[in-house]
């Protein structure tokens, strides 16, 4: 099966995760896909294949050299984002993209245009896989799965490429921040790993945001509006004032690069009670801690103004910048850079303005930077992936496996 055929088959599985479910995997349909992948891994001849009750699928490509070689893993997630429908995905191929608008659905008037998505112009002349405008595509991260599986097939077909033991891992629920929570690092048994979950070709990432959530609750007092003078306390107004008191230029739409932000995710309320949900992001750990303290200081100020207990905030850390774990072992990055160079791919080391399972896995003892998977415009109907990018990612995996035995590292 060619890598494109494999990818097109995978995206037709509906694997949306659900942050409200409270179980793992968060949706039963992820397990359906996991069972399919397990069977496929068996058919291609991988070994030590395990699928646990939570949907974590591990497998091994045994070493074909007697040399003492570190065990390296490749990881991708099976779920797609809850942000947009992943049901009945109907991909199509735009052959030799000409640089113009791509009509996804003439009937619905849905068009992907380089005026809105200029990254399209980096792939003029290439074949692109796009949606029909009614769903996301699922390249995040079924492109990564297709690349890993195809690389294992290639290595089995080319035994002249000597490599150590390779582990592959496919997990559920990355899109809701739970993908690494039940990932058994000891069972996976690797010296280090790579998540194949990045975007544009050549991206290599070992820095990500430090991340926290903040749930702010505002209490009010509701009385009949006709008799409310000097009695009613409208929590909606206090919540709106709280929002205006946050740094208005430190939001996602106002920041880029290494700039952190506060992001108001939701605001729901009545006169009696209003709830705000924020996420807090910053690459710098010191600045990250300052952002969390800013929320708490604002709460204190509002309680002094409106009365103790009017406003409360629950701030919880979500994940941290993997750089502090990866940096002491920079050979992990060096080998990935060398692999891309050998494959003729310009490497761009950049910071993730988000997080990956690799960030959490790194702090669980498995250093795990992130490599491009090739998809773009994730989580919506304009998602696409160049076919050539799938192949380039697969070739990068193969070359990493080939380079590791030459590293001057002992297990």
Q: What angle do CA 39, 45, 48 make, to 5 degrees?
A: 80
Residue ranges of domains in the chain = 3-208+322-406, 210-319
Query: DSSP code of 322?
Result: T
Structure tokens at 122: 């980096």
Antiparallel, parallel or unpaired: β 203-207 and 348-351:
parallel
Question: Which fold, 3-208+322-406?
Answer: Aminopeptidase (3.40.630)
At what angle are helices 387-403 and 139-157 packed, to 10 degrees?
50
Q: Which of 356, 360, 358 is nearest to 368 (CA)?
A: 358
Are β-strands 128-130 and 92-94 bridged in parallel, bridged antiparallel, or unpaired? antiparallel
Residues 223 and 231: beta-carbon distance below 8 Å: yes
Nearest to 355 by CA among 193, 180, 182: 180
Q: Across the beta sheet with 261-269, what order do the strands follow?
A: 261-269, 273-282, 210-219, 311-319
**What does each C-alpha distance from 154 to 150, 201, 206, 248, 271 come to in angstroms?**
6, 20, 27, 51, 62
Report H helices in 322-409: 323-326, 331-342, 357-363, 387-403
- Which residues contact residue 34 at a Cβ distance below 8 angstroms, ignoring those fewer than 6 apart? 25, 51, 55, 57, 78, 170, 172
**Cα first-last separation, the chain:** 34
Q: Are strands 192-198 and 370-372 parallel, antiparallel or unpaired?
A: parallel
Cβ-based neighbour number of residue 273 at 10 Å: 15
Residues 6 or more apart in contact with residue 270 via CB below 8 angstroms: 220, 222, 235, 236
* Residue 220, both tokens: 């009010």
- pLDDT at site 411: 45
pLDDT value of residue 1: 62
Same fold flag, 3-208+322-406 and 210-319: no
Over the range 220-234, which residues count as b (16 or more CB within 10 Å of their CB) and which as e?
beeeeeeeeeeeebb
Tell me, which fold does domain 210-319 have in CATH? Alpha-Beta Plaits (3.30.70)
At residue 409, the pLDDT reads: 60
Q: Which residues contact 120 (CB under 8 A, 6 or more apart)?
A: 97, 99, 102, 112, 113, 114, 128, 384
Rounded CA gap, 190 and 187, in Å?
A: 9
Cα–Cα distance for residue pair 63/247, rounded to 1 Å: 53
Q: Low-confidence residues of the chain, pLDDT below 50?
A: 410-411
Q: What is the pTM of this model?
A: 0.88
d(CA 74, CA 408): 21
Q: How far is it, in rounded angstroms, from Cα 357 to Cα 380?
A: 21
The three-state secondary structure class of 203 is strand
pLDDT value for 355: 78
Question: DSSP per residue over 44-97, as a string?
Answer: TT-EEEEE-TT--EEEEE--SS-S----EEEEEE--B-TTS--TT---EEETT-
Q: Which residues are catalytic?
A: 79, 174
- Within 13 Å, how many C-alpha atoms sit on residue 386's CB side? 20
């Amino acid at each position: 099966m060619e890598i494109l055929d494999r990818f097109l088959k995978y995206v037709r599985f509906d694997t949306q995760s659900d942050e409200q479910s409270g179980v793992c995997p968060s949706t039963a349909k992820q397990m359906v896909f996991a069972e399919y992948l397990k069977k496929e891994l068996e058919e291609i001849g991988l070994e030590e294949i395990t699928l646990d009750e939570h949907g974590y699928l591990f497998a091994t490509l045994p070493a074909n050299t007697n040399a003492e070689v570190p065990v390296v893993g490749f990881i991708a997630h099976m779920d797609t984002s809850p942000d947009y429908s992943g049901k009945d995905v109907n991909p199509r191929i735009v052959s030799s993209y000409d640089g113009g608008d791509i009509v996804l659905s003439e009937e619905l008037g849905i068009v992907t245009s380089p005026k809105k998505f200029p990254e399209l112009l980096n792939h003029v002349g290439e074949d692109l896989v796009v949606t029909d405008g009614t769903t996301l595509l699922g390249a995040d991260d079924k492109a990564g799965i297709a690349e890993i599986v195809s690389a294992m097939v290639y290595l089995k077909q080319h035994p002249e490429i000597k490599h150590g033991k390779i582990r592959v891992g496919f997990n559920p629920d990355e899109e809701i921040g739970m993908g690494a929570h039940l990932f058994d690092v000891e069972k996976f048994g690797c010296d280090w790993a790579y998540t194949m979950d990045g975007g544009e070709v050549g991206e290599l990432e070992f820095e990500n945001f430090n991340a926290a959530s903040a749930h702010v609750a505002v209490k009010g007092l509701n009385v009949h509006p006709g008799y409310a003078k000097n009695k009613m306390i409208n929590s909606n107004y206090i919540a709106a004032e709280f929002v205006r008191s946050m740094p208005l230029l430190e939001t996602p739409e106002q920041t880029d690069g290494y700039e952190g932000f506060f992001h108001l995710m939701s605001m729901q309320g009545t006169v009696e009670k209003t709830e705000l949900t924020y996420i807090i992001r910053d690459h710098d750990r010191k600045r990250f801690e300052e952002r969390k303290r800013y929320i708490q200081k604002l709460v204190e100020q509002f309680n002094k103004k409106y009365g103790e207990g009017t406003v409360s905030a629950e701030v919880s850390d979500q994940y941290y910048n993997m750089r502090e774990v990866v940096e002491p072992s920079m050979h992990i990055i060096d080998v990935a850079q060398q692999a891309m160079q050998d494959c003729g791919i310009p490497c761009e080391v950049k910071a993730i303005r988000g997080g990956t399972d690799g960030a959490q896995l790194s702090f669980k003892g498995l250093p795990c930077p992130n490599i491009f998977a090739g998809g773009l415009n994730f989580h919506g109907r304009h998602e696409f992936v160049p076919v050539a990018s799938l192949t380039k990612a697969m070739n990068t995996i193969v070359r990493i496996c080939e380079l590791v035995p030459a590293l001057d590292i002992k297990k």
